Structure 1
Amino acid sequence: MEQYEPDRLSPAQEAAIRRSFRNGRAALTRRSLLRASAGGALAVGGLGALSACGIPAAGNTEGGVSAEDRSAKERTVAFSNWTEYMDVDDSGRRHPTLEAFTRRTGIKVTYTEDINDNTEFFGKIKPQLAAGQDTGRDIIVLTDWLAARLIRLGWVQKLDASHLPHAFANVASSYRTPDWDPGRAYSYPWQGIATVIAYNRKALDGVEVKTLSDLLDNTKLKGRVGLLTEMRDTMGMALLDMGKDPRSFSADDYDAALARLQKTVDKGQIRRFTGNDYTADLAKGDLAACVAWAGDVVQLQADNPDIGFVIPDSGYMLS
């Protein structure tokens, strides 16, 4: 789903999105959405799960083994993260936390912002993990449902709690014992990011956006609206906009929300579905408004005063 035309999707692209909704990467069953909503949120994201050398091959579902401590000899850590994350100090200097870590420990961090979309990233690392091979990464940051999948497959190494004396104590009680990682043996939550409606004020040219309905129904925005490929967020926001609770909804509610999005796609309202890469389109004004993650938007605002966001009165998701 690349190279969308500025004004609208082509018939072929619309057909591709329809296929994706039904059985492709964007497909999401009501059961899986409900399963993701445990604890009151669809996806509380930013979960750092460790992966490294010696990952068990596919078929091991007993959980990963404890990692060998190589810190005395290997003085580097490879860290994969999403784009636009918020390790910036008041002066605008990027990654001060990583610099402080290196000063304190002498361990260099190879930091890469190469995660754009959960499913896309899983497809990138799955062949190596399934073969029991090193991905070249020590720490990865994923949304909780994908962290849970990697743990369930046995592809994540256990954390050594003795080296993390403050981690568990500083985690909010509601996040300490998820059913997919009891006691936080393999992961820790890093950040919960609100899913919001972001906009480029200049591109809106006076159009008001306060709700998801404004994005889906206002013809003045046709071809200039973005939705997330992270369908737990997109569908969650659609359900909220319809007055439904994403933690508890009927099959009819889900079908109605999906049909509403499908109708919007069919009429050419949506420019494209994106991962984190919506930020470039929003900054340039190719997207006038989109469903977005608040942390990204805050970063964009530092360089572009036309960027803003609203939290709909109907509510928001945590990603």
Structure 2
Amino acid sequence: MRKTPRTPMSPEASAVIAALPLSRRTLMRGTLASSALVAAGGALAACGTEGQTQTAETCVSEDLSGAEKTLAFSNWPLYIDVDEADESKRPTLDAFIAKSGIAVTYTEDINDNNEFFGKVQNQLAACQPTDRDLIVLTDWMAARLIRLGWLQKLDRAKMPAVEKNLLPSLRNRAFDPAGEYSVPWQAGLTGIAYNGDVTGEIRTVDELLTRPDLKGKVTALSEMRDTIGLLLQSNGHDPSNFTAAQFDDALAKLEKAVTSGQIRRFTGNDYATELAGGDIAACMAWSGDIFQLSADNEKVRFVVPESGVILFSDDLQVPNKAAHKGNAEALIDYYYDPAVAAEVAAYVNYICPVEGARAEAEKIDPELAANPLVFPDETVTSKAKGFMALDEATEKAYEQKFRAVVGA
């Protein structure tokens, strides 16, 4: 792979970023930027070959929750509330353990979607246990595991809080319409960000890609679904339901911006360093990163483009052969208590998927509760779309086309 050279970080940007708390998404996106485009080719080629797909009939799992009050929970680093005075304590998780009597082994061993897929694919393809009862994967990877039949079906009747409190914008998703295999843990938005110290307001994706004063001062995202999703919307198309021709139109618009020099490079979340220091004027960005940057500089702003934003989620799932599905369902439902969800939101600063958590957050931090990047209102959610679920062949073809334009 040919990597685009990274623009040196200014001292000002270094100082700003050093002062920021490291978020789960910051860590994940930084890792992903350096590895995903390499990993995607191999993972996509291997992710659905004959003999790997399972069904409920070919891979039967036994639930031992009634006899064994244990649960192995794998998550991303820094993606749950932590006691600032004692970082070994996770208040909401500790409270669940005390309340339920279920001993939870919590492991922060998911650092990249493709990397984690590589860890577990041999076991799941062969209907073998992964020694994990509950995992958290980003929606597109969650969709892949559903497609491969590597997950156990959740019993929604055992999760009444999920049924009651899941945000409407995160229901009926294309890759899991009935929510039988996945429940959102946290969510986020992909949109535009700009630094008001170095440029004027930006409202549209087309401005980002064509405005002369921004030429060479713009970055786009190295994740295909984010960048192409925004371009599909800018062309008036629905990223949750589009044609191959519409994909190609969006890609052509992107290629034109690359060829003209409008786009400096493609990034993971390392755009944050350049945006904070004014080395770039504007970019495609993730809401959680800009939430953190704007806390130190109010002129760094996240924009919901007039054409719309991309809504993504990280989802709780129970893999095949996990022996404690009932315990996992109990934990999932616990985190859909609005008061519990508000505590997590106050720490991770991504979109809380739980209806009613905003009112609870007002008791913890009124400023947080009022922030639309954590608790978006209807004006935001009405413009938010997820990316269409893809079959294996289409996913591979689109990724290859995108990488050709990105230069990877």
Counterpart position of 1:112: 108
Picking from 202, 208, 214, the partner of 2:207 is 214
CA distance in 2, matches of 1:122, 1:245: 28
Cα shift at 1:85: 5.3
Change (3 A) 1:158 1:213: same
Deviation digits for residues 95-129 of structure 1, max 9, x if unmatched? 6533443443453452527445x455534543443
CA distance in 2, matches of 1:194, 1:186: 22
Q: Is the contact between residue 77 and residue 109 of structure 1 (CA under 8 Å) also seen in structure 2?
A: yes
Cα shift at 1:261: 0.6
Q: Does 1:130 align with 2:125?
A: yes
Q: Is the contact between residue 77 and residue 138 of structure 1 (CA under 8 Å) also seen in structure 2?
A: yes
Secondary structure of the 2:142 match is helix
Amino acid at match of 1:227: A
Cα shift at 1:242: 2.9
Counterpart position of 2:190: 195
Secondary structure of the 2:151 match is coil
CA distance in 2, matches of 1:58, 1:287: 44
Secondary structure of the 1:196 match is strand
Cα shift at 1:259: 1.0
Counterpart position of 1:4: 5
Q: Does 1:310 align with 2:303?
A: yes
Secondary structure of the 1:193 match is strand
- Larger proportion of helix: 2
Secondary structure of the 1:186 match is coil
CA distance in 2, matches of 1:301, 1:86: 22
Matches within 5 A, 1:34-53: none
Amino acid at match of 2:64: D
Secondary structure of the 2:160 match is coil
Cα shift at 1:258: 0.8
Change (3 A) 1:267 1:173: closer
Picking from 143, 151, 154, the partner of 1:156 is 151
Q: Is the contact between residue 218 and residue 282 of structure 2 (CA under 8 Å) also seen in structure 1?
A: yes
Q: Is the contact between residue 193 and residue 294 of structure 1 (CA under 8 Å) also seen in structure 2?
A: yes
Picking from 47, 55, 58, the partner of 2:52 is 58
TM-score, normalising length: structure 2: 0.52
Q: Is the contact between residue 74 and residue 107 of structure 2 (CA under 8 Å) also seen in structure 1?
A: yes
Mark the runs of 5 or more structure 1 residues left unpaired by the alignment: 8-19, 28-56
Deviation digits for residues 168-201 of structure 1, max 9, x if unmatched? 3333567555565464332213344332112344
Matches within 5 A, 1:1-319: 2=3, 4-6=5-7, 58-62=52-56, 65-70=60-65, 73=68, 75=70, 77-81=72-76, 87=81, 96-105=91-100, 107-108=103-104, 110-112=106-108, 114-116=110-112, 118-119=113-114, 121-135=116-130, 137-161=132-156, 163-172=158-167, 180-181=175-176, 183-202=178-197, 205-218=198-211, 220-246=213-239, 251-275=244-268, 278-279=271-272, 282-283=275-276, 287-303=280-296, 305-319=298-312
CA distance in 2, matches of 1:308, 1:95: 31
Runs of 4+ in structure 1 deviating by more than 6 angstroms, as ranges, are: none
Q: Is the contact between residue 216 and residue 262 of structure 2 (CA under 8 Å) also seen in structure 1?
A: yes
Mark the runs of 5 or more structure 2 residues left unpaired by the alignment: 9-36, 45-50, 313-408
CA distance in 2, matches of 1:199, 1:95: 35
Change (3 A) 1:176 1:69: farther
TM-score, normalising length: structure 1: 0.64
Q: Is the contact between residue 74 and residue 106 of structure 2 (CA under 8 Å) also seen in structure 1?
A: yes
CA distance in 2, matches of 1:282, 1:96: 34
Tell me which moved more, 167-176 or 145-154: 167-176
Question: What RMSD over aligned residues (CA atoms) do the two structures have, in Å?
Answer: 4.2
Amino acid at match of 1:122: F
Amino acid at match of 1:230: E
Tell me which moved more, 269-278 or 138-147: 269-278
Cα shift at 1:315: 1.9
